[in-house]
Structure 1
């Protein structure tokens, strides 16, 4: 509805009314409208926004929109946007921009801000230091509650969050205090008396996914980040943690589907890039699947003697791949949310084996009866299919649950051990097991 209003006001050139309408809208909603209009109109709308709102809108834009705006805006306009943005958001923007655009953005920032940005850019890409915000409220333990509240009033407007303040001594983190505690405590009380000395924190080089998980686990608004000397250097807020979890989930889903991770959106990625991201995985899986073809060729005489054997191969391969994918998906999810650890290896395997036995026996009975009735009441064939079904389901469940755990242990992403890879491995194992059981039973 508001999109139509914005387009109508633009067409009528009623900019005063448009400005008033934009003031009532959320920055995210404004970005959605800007994505669907002409670039010339996008610049016009952006220039109508208040400074604070313009900075938030700029933060929520995709990289292509940002780059176009940066090239279109004057230095003074860019300076206003950069001044209003929080440092961690500025760093995120700079990391996505080409070198020439980065140089221009840094040129319109003051020396102090530029030094802080450069310091953040030096941290490893997926570390807590790379996403932290250096704008937090620091208190001293000898301050009174009245002094602390006064400081919050003076500097709070430039801080991303004021709900938790951190107590430092010679830059070292010694405690934390919530604004709620400050507002409910006597004004003459010392910060030392009400601060919490047991503070959850993370280090600058910790993996950002682990930091995000810690924020989620303990329900934190922000978590302090300390360096190797235990000095407080920044905080990671819950909104940054949510972005990290979204990025990691997107990456895991891509890898589980056999697609190389890509930071751009679906429509923002070119057809060539999509093909490039997918072709490598498909090539590897295709080449590994040739092993199954070689095994089938080895049993060519057996299939020639009993052509009916071929009809069961797709069903058995599909069942084994699906069984393994079920287990790997559950374990990958458990690892992602911290529910499963490598120390639970044998517990997980034991549980999956029990599940596999129940599922395998059920499938074996159904298929055994079906084969017996449909294929001239061949009891040996029905038993062979039933035993194969139990064996491949048990093997698939074990492979599906162990590979993600082993990947996690050696430092790989567990999502690598997902459906495409599990299915390819189980195809080979299924064919080997199927013909081994068939051969053994028919020789008896």
Structure 2
């Protein structure tokens, strides 16, 4: 949305809050009527959970489902918990199986059985099959409702299948082609099918299929689908049999969520998984407090280092003036390296096997940065204080930048190797580590150069 549109939604949200407070629901309904679905979604995200549920109840049945499907999974969970059983049972039954899995991941475990019981046997079976895959697997994000064709079928027969299953299928623009054992042998585009003669066989113009296994990491599969520009990525089981498809919109949804999580964790908070303005204060506190406690404990290392070199500081108090500069520069250098490598991991540009190459590059990058900053620090500190102090600052910046870039570069790779989110190992922990080690390097260089 443009800034002007966002400002408009903000003004509408303020107006709606006042109307709800006054109990004027008729006016709220009149306000909602001209708003397009994206604006209603943005509006709900700016209101409290209780007010968002009120807004949702005032929508027409057809429009409410469209709005609900456009909401992030976290906000869907909030809305479901605020509605009555009768309302959510009907809503849940109208959703696609993969969307149900997204929603159930956001709800308390006690709610899921009640919702599943309200489904038909067929819908319950499809949803249960998706929920059987690991939480981070692409099988949990695929759609099992897919139209397939066979190499020996004609275009006319394929189009009949499309028409018969048009309403239930997640996508029709890319059709998987399977053999008699349901193994994927290719794909055909609906555009090519429509352009061909009715009696032409599918085998004549099907193309090679890119596939993903159902237990593959969801982010990896989604990244591959978007990089290849696929409208649908067939998903197969361990025996290469088709079990579903990942559509391009679901792939984009996965990547958006993963990138939001990475950005949050690199900043030292847990992802909210819902709009900031609709998140209760207690959840905001909960998302931050654990990280602050971890960092507070880690910061005691820095205090202990300062305590160990207290005598050195007492002899040369000017050294204390440069502590913020040195630990800040080291932390920023490490964070830059970690952010770069974490993004490269997400894009598939590097893997844990590339640790030596990454380490080699980051050592050179860190050394180059440290040399430039060290020369600058040497000149400034030497002119303002003393040339011996300048040597200490210059050498420390050189060493700290080299160390920080090296650690920042390999920590995300180490995290991926042990199957931990690389973002968790990034900025907060790197900053704490570099602060402590940087101070040790600083004081050891100072003692050696100044003879104290």
TM category (shorter chain) comes to: 0.7 to 0.9
Structure 2 SS opposite 1:332: helix
Aligned length: 430
Task: For 1:292 and 1:101, locate their aligned partners in 2 and report how far apart those are by CA, in whole Å.
Answer: 46
Structure 2 SS opposite 1:223: strand
Residue 83 of structure 2: which of 59, 63, 69 is its match? 69
Task: For 1:368 and 1:12, locate their aligned partners in 2 and report how far apart those are by CA, in whole Å.
Answer: 68
Task: For 2:397 and 2:81, locate their aligned partners in 1 and report how far apart those are by CA, in whole Å.
Answer: 56
Partner in structure 2 of residue 147 of structure 1 = 157
Partner in structure 2 of residue 414 of structure 1 = 422
Cα drift, residue 224 of structure 1:
0.8
Q: Are 2:442 and 1:429 aligned?
A: no
Partner in structure 2 of residue 389 of structure 1 = 397
1:103–1:302 Cα change, 3 Å: closer
Cα drift, residue 200 of structure 1:
0.8
Residue 45 of structure 1: which of 34, 58, 66 is its match? 58
Task: For 2:278 and 2:51, locate their aligned partners in 1 and report how far apart those are by CA, in whole Å.
Answer: 16
CA contact (8 A) 1:70 1:101 kept: no
1:438–1:103 Cα change, 3 Å: closer
Partner in structure 2 of residue 164 of structure 1 = 174
Task: For 1:250 and 1:373, locate their aligned partners in 2 and report how far apart those are by CA, in whole Å.
Answer: 46
TM-score, length basis structure 1 = 0.87
Alpha-carbon displacement from aligned partner over 1:125-180 (angstroms, at most 9, x marks no partner): 11111111111111122211111112212211221210011122222222211101
1:435–1:236 Cα change, 3 Å: same
Cα drift, residue 320 of structure 1:
1.0
Cα drift, residue 14 of structure 1:
9.9
Task: For 2:95 and 2:247, locate their aligned partners in 1 and report how far apart those are by CA, in whole Å.
Answer: 15
Structure 2 SS opposite 1:233: strand
1:33–1:413 Cα change, 3 Å: closer
**Bigger mean CA deviation after superposition, 287-296 or 222-231:** 287-296
Q: Are 2:195 and 1:184 aligned?
A: yes
1:24-423 matches, within 5 Å, as 26-33=36-43, 36=47, 38=51, 42=55, 45-46=58-59, 48-50=60-62, 53-61=63-71, 62=75, 63-71=77-85, 73=87, 78-79=89-90, 81-98=91-108, 101-169=111-179, 170-196=181-207, 198-375=208-385, 378-423=386-431
Task: For 1:14 and 1:351, locate their aligned partners in 2 and report how far apart those are by CA, in whole Å.
Answer: 62
Cα drift, residue 267 of structure 1:
3.8
Partner in structure 1 of residue 3 of structure 2 = none
Cα drift, residue 346 of structure 1:
2.9
Alpha-carbon displacement from aligned partner over 1:56-93 (angstroms, at most 9, x marks no partner): 222234222233334363x8xx43x4454222112322
**Bigger mean CA deviation after superposition, 403-412 or 161-170:** 403-412
Cα drift, residue 12 of structure 1:
10
Task: For 2:305 and 2:85, locate their aligned partners in 1 and report how far apart those are by CA, in whole Å.
Answer: 59
CA contact (8 A) 1:145 1:188 kept: yes
Structure 2 SS opposite 1:294: helix
Task: For 2:440 and 2:51, locate their aligned partners in 1 and report how far apart those are by CA, in whole Å.
Answer: 60
CA contact (8 A) 2:93 2:118 kept: no
Task: For 1:127 and 1:58, locate their aligned partners in 2 and report how far apart those are by CA, in whole Å.
Answer: 24
Q: CA RMSD in A?
A: 3.0
Structure 2 SS opposite 1:139: coil
Task: For 2:310 and 2:78, locate their aligned partners in 1 and report how far apart those are by CA, in whole Å.
Answer: 56
Unaligned runs of 5+ in 1: none
Structure 2 SS opposite 1:385: helix
CA contact (8 A) 2:151 2:202 kept: yes
TM-score, length basis structure 2 = 0.86
Structure 2 SS opposite 1:157: coil
